[in-house]
């Protein structure tokens, strides 16, 4: 089977940096995706790591270590609008993504 672990809640101050970790156990690993979901909304794709290392997209970065079965999402210069749930998801190829249970990020002033 497969499992993903991520913290259920994280709180951070506006303007700060926050890291959301994700560890996974799975077979046939191709890569790790990250999604953002605001309350009442649909998940939206943020980033994808197929190889080890850091991928940067504006204020958001995502990191993967395949040898440690570990990844994280880094959000810089936090804004109030970043308050949302963040999901990591394992890509096993042409089979469906398997999602973690999500991390609820609260950004406070």
The b/e string for 51-70 (b: 16+ C-beta within 10 A; e otherwise) is eeeebeeeebbbbbeeeebe
Asked if residue 31 binds another protein (CB under 8 A), the reply is yes
Query: Binder to another protein among 29, 30, 60, 70 (CB under 8 A)?
Result: 30
Asked if residue 99 binds another protein (CB under 8 A), the reply is yes
Contact 22, 86 (CB under 8 A): no
Q: For residues 9 and 101, what is the distance between their CA atoms, to the nearest angstrom?
A: 11
Query: Binder to another protein among 7, 69, 74, 98 (CB under 8 A)?
Result: 98
Sites of contact with another protein (CB under 8 A): 8, 30-33, 35, 41-45, 48, 50, 87, 89, 91, 93-94, 96-102
């Amino acid at each position: 089977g497969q499992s993903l672990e991520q913290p259920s809640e994280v709180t951070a101050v506006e303007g700060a940096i926050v890291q959301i970790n994700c560890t996974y156990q799975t077979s046939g690993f191709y890569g790790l995706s990250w999604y953002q979901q605001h309350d009442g909304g649909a998940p939206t794709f943020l980033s994808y790591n197929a190889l080890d290392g850091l991928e940067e997209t504006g204020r958001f970065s995502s990191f993967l270590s395949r040898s440690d079965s570990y990844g994280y999402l880094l959000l810089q210069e936090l804004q109030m609008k970043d308050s949302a749930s963040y999901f990591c998801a394992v890509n096993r190829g042409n089979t469906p993504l398997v999602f973690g249970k999500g991390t609820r990020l609260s950004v406070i002033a």
